[in-house]
Amino acid sequence: MSEQEPFKSLAECTPAKATAAYPEQVLSDVASLPALPGVYRYFDAQGNVLYVGKAINLKKRVSSYFQKNHGGTRIGHMVSKIARLETTVVRSEAEALLLENNLIKTLNPKYNILFRDDKSYPYLKIGAPAPVSDAIKSKAAYALPMRATGQNDINNLTKVNGDWFPRVSYYRGAVEKKHHYFGPYPSAWAVKEAILLMQKVFRLRTCEDPVFNNRTRPCLLYQIKRCSAPCVGHISATAYAQDVLDAERFLNGDAREVMAELEARMMAHADKLEFEQAAELRNQVAALSNVLHQQSVDNVSDRDVDILAVKVHGGRACVNLAMVRGGRHLGDRPYFPVHVEDAADLDDSDEADAPSAVRSVEMQVLDAFIAQHYLNVPAPPSLVVSVPVDKGLLKALSEQTGVKVSAVHNPREQRRVWLEMAQTNAGLQLARLLAEEGSQQARTRALVEALDLPMESLDELRVECFDISHTAGESTQASCVVFHHHRMQNAEYRRFKINDITPGDDYAAMRQVLLRRYSKLAETLAEAKRSGETPAGTGKLPDLVLVDGGKGQVSMAREVFVQLGLDLSLIVGVEKGEGRRIGLEELVFADGREKVYLGKDSAALMLVAQIRDEAHRFAITGMRAARAKVRMDGGKLEEIPGIGPKRRARLLQRFGGVRGVALASADDIAQVEGISHELAQEIYRALH
């Protein structure tokens, strides 16, 4: 059926068996769709987003899902769950591309290939110079005499302004037009290497303005020839500006031209018998020549290129992104999408039902990466890719960015070398991921078998682990970390600030955190059991609750679970072994079973230790942050005459922090060891 033909009703073009399987409202919504470009979303009965797609013709594309019986395929499994759909009409394919991928990142649909990257890319930043007068530009050494004599004539200026000498620095975040940014770079390491290069060759400053403006002598970087010391007048503003200009041209790929100009300036100084200046330029030329010799891709016509290689194996995928900026290869970075298996049979081409248009999983993965990655990252004009890219995607991307983006498949010469490097790295990174996941799944299986957990699927094993952290009773924090789907789920971690307990009472802290975590859930589950219906969105108890501690902590957890009416077999304590040595931990059970030692080389114990250590790390970082916040105010105590570090520590331990001391009466404060009634009155007055 061509796009010019009038559309029949969905009932006319859909087999009767297929039509009967879908909700009437969904079929009605599909039949009323316009033949316009837009984005569609599918939802299940619980309101979860199943899939987000784009179409040049919404009616044709969405109808294709319901016009046949997909059987037991992944697309059939998805379509069988559709309870409702939503659509948004847009003006062009470019707008549809932008909206689709914004929604994919926001809604995290189950059947879309999804790339997660919460980190922005780092840049190398060179500040914008402030205007400098002609008189100042001509002076090469002015700061040091000024500070020695205090004179303020033109030869001895009264102040050095750091804005005259732009700083080179590492930067991550939104860019400002007034400064110059180079990148983005694939990693922080690549930026730091570039900054080191700017120091070696062009000797640009890296110190912050407050340091720069208050120096009276050169720092160590000047001594090791990594800075020209503009802070103390060892270089004029004009000469430094020339170095900045050369550095920017080098970063933009004009390295050969910069070297030729440096050589010409060196010879000019030599002809004038200015041998010191000529020697400085000679050293600069030598350093730059060494850099170009080390850089294997210096003689290329490409300035800015992204190289994209995709590898799919074992239900997982890796896209390796290598960046070339200014003709220099800056390194690469791997990306691992989720939902690859679920999305394998889904193709968002409007002619996806035509056999010639079916795209491989590698193509779908690469299309998804390009569409999602370049939403917030500037796209270079050239992409070198391991598999063909959809032409419509490139056209839409060019319209969106305002830069004509082209993709080269099967490249030659230097581009082929880059692509082969990226393909090799993609294979290595994917193999590493599969090995790690295989090891993690083996650990999950070992734990399930060791504890005889009734699990139908290893993927569904959910473990929650609790730990308590404080410093001598100060700033007590409890952590809850979650292990699910064979990995730690950082988004589900929780911290609990523990209040209203005796400082240092770990048992009371454990009781409080378990009650706060499971009270509402226990009530909901009990109500669902009585009514026979489970409300939508009801949480699920974990399959295992780990507590960091031995019999004491397990006994407290047991009391809480008895009070809440929960299953005691869920609770397992991780008791440290003899001498608190790693690998000798024993598992303590709340339901009366004997302690178990799994063995030093046990995969199950390795997983338990991994989860326990993560809970400890998460708790202690939260405690330290809370303690630091309290101690910023805690300095008020030491400002009181008679309060030193020891008395301050006793007060904080007794009352749980500065706020607790402030809430205490003078009589309560006097109960602390070493605090007299007179000093207690003084403390009370100082804090009120």
Written as one string, the DSSP assignment of 596-641 is B---TT-HHHHHHHHHHHHHHHHHHHHHHHHHHHHHHHHHHHHTST
Distance, in Å, from the CA atom of 291 to the CA atom of 296, rounded to the nearest integer, reads 10
Q: Work out the average pLDDT over 656-676.
A: 82
Distance, in Å, from the CA atom of 616 to the CA atom of 623, rounded to the nearest integer, reads 10
pLDDT at 559: 92
pLDDT at 73: 66
- Tell whether the model's pLDDT for residue 383 goes beyond 60: yes
Phi-psi region of 229 (alpha: psi -120 to 50; beta: other; left: phi over 0): left
> Measuring CA to CA, how many Å separate 407 from each of 308, 326, 359, 423?
10, 18, 17, 16
311: CB partners within 8 A, 6+ apart:
317, 318, 320, 362, 423, 426, 427, 430
Quick check: 360 and 330 in contact, CB under 8 A? no
Distance, in Å, from the CA atom of 569 to the CA atom of 592, rounded to the nearest integer, reads 9
Closest CA to 334 of 324, 319, 323: 319
Quick check: 604 and 587 in contact, CB under 8 A? no
- Tell whether the model's pLDDT for residue 491 goes beyond 80: yes
Q: Phi, psi at residue 121, to the nearest 5°?
A: -85, 145
Distance, in Å, from the CA atom of 565 to the CA atom of 396, rounded to the nearest integer, reads 58
Asked if the 305-431 domain carries CATH number 3.30.420, the reply is yes
Quick check: 110 and 74 in contact, CB under 8 A? no
169 compared with 375, residue with greater pLDDT:
169
Quick check: 464 and 481 in contact, CB under 8 A? yes
Residue 359 pLDDT grade (very low, low, confident, very high; cuts 50, 70, 90): confident
Q: Work out the average pLDDT over 591-598.
A: 84
| Percent residues over pLDDT 90 in the chain | 11
pLDDT at 298: 43
**Mean per-residue pLDDT of the chain:** 79
Q: Domain 458-529+541-624: which topology? A: Nucleotidyltransferase; domain 5 (3.30.420)
> Measuring CA to CA, how many Å separate 670 from each of 77, 153, 637, 656?
71, 64, 15, 16
- Tell whether the model's pLDDT for residue 312 goes beyond 80: yes
- Tell whether the model's pLDDT for residue 629 goes beyond 80: no
Closest CA to 654 of 450, 503, 468, 548: 503
**For residue 248, which amino acid is it?**
E
- Tell whether the model's pLDDT for residue 146 goes beyond 80: no
Beta strands in 229-289 (DSSP E): none
pLDDT at 2: 41
Residue 417 pLDDT grade (very low, low, confident, very high; cuts 50, 70, 90): confident
Dihedral in degrees, nearest 10, Cα atoms 6, 11, 15, 20:
160
CA angle 98, 102, 103 (to 5 degrees): 120
CB atoms < 10 A from the CB of 340, how many?
19
Q: Determine which of 275-289, 446-460, 495-509 has the lowest per-residue pLDDT on average.
A: 275-289
101 compared with 89, residue with greater pLDDT:
89
- Tell whether the model's pLDDT for residue 149 goes beyond 50: no
pLDDT at 536: 56
pLDDT at 538: 62
**pTM for this predicted structure:** 0.61
Residue 114, helix vs strand vs coil: strand
Q: Of 24-33, 376-385, 520-529, 608-617, where does the model show the most confidence?
A: 608-617
pLDDT at 147: 37
Residue 415 pLDDT grade (very low, low, confident, very high; cuts 50, 70, 90): confident
Q: What is the homologous superfamily of the domain 10-107 according to CATH?
A: GIY-YIG endonuclease (3.40.1440.10)
pLDDT at 211: 81
Query: What are the start and end residues of each CATH 3.40.1440.10 domain in the chain?
Result: 10-107
pLDDT in tens, 550-580: 888 999 999 999 999 998 889 999 988 776 6
pLDDT in tens, 33-66: 988 989 999 998 888 888 998 888 888 888 888 8
Q: Work out the average pLDDT over 25-30.
A: 85
Q: Of 207-221, 249-263, 475-489, 623-637, where does the model show the most confidence?
A: 475-489
CB atoms < 10 A from the CB of 204, how many?
23
pLDDT in tens, 318-354: 999 988 887 777 788 898 888 787 655 565 554 443 3
Query: What are the start and end residues of each CATH 3.30.420.340 domain in the chain?
Result: 458-529+541-624
Residue 194 pLDDT grade (very low, low, confident, very high; cuts 50, 70, 90): confident
Quick check: 472 and 653 in contact, CB under 8 A? yes
pLDDT at 107: 84
- Tell whether the model's pLDDT for residue 480 goes beyond 90: yes
Q: Work out the average pLDDT over 372-384.
A: 84
CB atoms < 10 A from the CB of 269, how many?
17
- DSSP letter, residue 165: S
256 compared with 655, residue with greater pLDDT:
655
pLDDT at 282: 76
pLDDT at 403: 80
pLDDT at 145: 37
pLDDT in tens, 108-132: 888 888 887 655 678 888 887 766 5
Closest CA to 406 of 276, 308, 509, 271: 308
Please give the class, per CATH, of domain 639-687. Answer: mainly alpha
Q: Phi, psi at residue 672, to the nearest 5°?
A: -75, 140
Q: Determine which of 92-96, 216-220, 367-371 has the lowest per-residue pLDDT on average.
A: 92-96
Distance, in Å, from the CA atom of 436 to the CA atom of 289, rounded to the nearest integer, reads 42
Distance, in Å, from the CA atom of 83 to the CA atom of 115, rounded to the nearest integer, reads 26
Quick check: 333 and 320 in contact, CB under 8 A? yes
